[in-house]
Amino acid sequence: MPPGAFTLTFEGDQKCSEIFRTVVQRDAAWQAAVDLSLERQILPSLSWVTRRLDGWAHIGSLSKWHVLEGFPQAVQDIVAGKSIVKCNFDVGEAWDVEKLVEERKDWTMSDWKERWKRGFGVRFDPDPPSPKYLHLLCDNTFETNVPIDPAAF
């Protein structure tokens, strides 16, 4: 496909902007910071397999800080407007990865893992009149007893 022949545009409101800035950009920046810390030998080296295990797919994974290969660059390109992926909402400014590395240069890999909590534990519900996220989840299951604490949503 020739360059510029395709664009994927995500449409959203202020809530999407908030989610992109606080979750997507944070995860991309943290992955880049850990990768940079490993590259600079601030953190002890890890095998390629350990570094690249998909933290989203493997419960108990050693690399929960790793979302996907190339994820930080993809997010940087979206923010800089250099991607085929566009957003019609404000994606904010890019996080300063160098600052993250510098501020956390005394952290161990255990410190990174302990502090890695996607989205800071914040839940994002759709704006009214749409139902809450938990209700949307329940709409997509045949189970009548969903083993989820509703207070967590």
pLDDT, one tens digit per residue, over 2-18 is 878 899 999 988 889 99
Radius of gyration of the chain measured on its C-alpha atoms:
18
- Give CA–CA dist 96/58, Å, rounded: 28
Compute the CA torsion angle 118, 122, 127, 128 (nearest 10 deg). 140
Give the burial class of 97: count Cβ atoms within 10 A of its Cβ; 0-12 exposed, 13-18 middle, 19 or more buried: buried
Residues in the chain: 153
pLDDT, one tens digit per residue, over 13-67 is 888 999 899 889 998 999 999 999 999 999 998 887 777 664 544 445 555 667 7
Q: What value, to the nearest 5°, has the Cα angle with vertex 130 and ends 124 and 134?
A: 50
Break the chain into its structural domains and give their ranges: 8-118, 123-153
